[in-house]
Structure 1
Amino acid sequence: MYILLALIAACALGIALHFLLPSRELRGVVVTPGIATAVAAIVYTGMQWAGVGQDSFWLWLASIGGSLAVAAVVTLALSATRTHSDAEKKAALGI
């Protein structure tokens, strides 16, 4: 049941991260929170299988903090890719 707390926290902080990162008009509002939640689920489950207890600070730091870090990097990469692609298409069209 504690995994739900980690997932809810990752999703809520992912929503905040979406609004803090630049170029949010180039991506959907669900991208960053979705990535953060998925990564939090994978990390939390993996660490539980590895034997880390639910009361461990490292479990929570890795699942929530790590998911936000991964979500930020992926979101920035997606935004940069989209900006580059749009610039190429505009140049090809002569706009």
Structure 2
Amino acid sequence: MYILLALIAACSLGVALHFALPQRQLRGVAVTPAIATATTAAVYTIMQWTGVGEGDVLLWVVSIGAGLALAAASTLVLTSQRTRRDTLEKQSLGI
């Protein structure tokens, strides 16, 4: 049941991360929180299976931290790819 708290925290921090990262007009508002939440769920579950207890701070820090780190990295990669693709498209159209 505690996984819900971790997922709510990851989703909320993912929304804040979306607004903190540059060029948010190039991506959907749900991309960054979705990546953060899914990654946090996977890491939390894997750590639970390996025997880390729910009361252990390491479980919370690692799962939410990994979710936010992967969300930030993938959002920056997606944004840079979108910028590059838009630039190439404009060049091909002669704009």
Q: Please state which band the TM-score falls in when normalised by the shorter chain.
A: over 0.9
- Correspondence for 2:6: 6
Deviation sequence 1:33-90 (CA, Å, 0-9, x none): 0000000000000000011010111100111111001100000000000000000000
Pairwise mapping of residues 1-95 of structure 1 onto structure 2 (< 5 A)?
A: 1-95=1-95
**1:35 maps to amino acid:** I
- Aligned Cα RMSD in Å? 0.4
Query: Hey, which bits of structure 1, 4+ residues long, moved more than 2 A?
Result: none
Give aligned pairs, total: 95
How does the TM-score come out when normalised to structure 1?
Answer: 0.99
Aligned residue for 1:53, secondary structure, equals coil
- Unpaired segments of 5 or more residues in structure 1? none
TM-score norm. by structure 2 comes to 0.99
The letter of the residue matching 2:55 is D
Gaps spanning 5+ residues in structure 2: where? none
Amino acid at match of 1:71: A
Identical residues among aligned pairs (%): 63
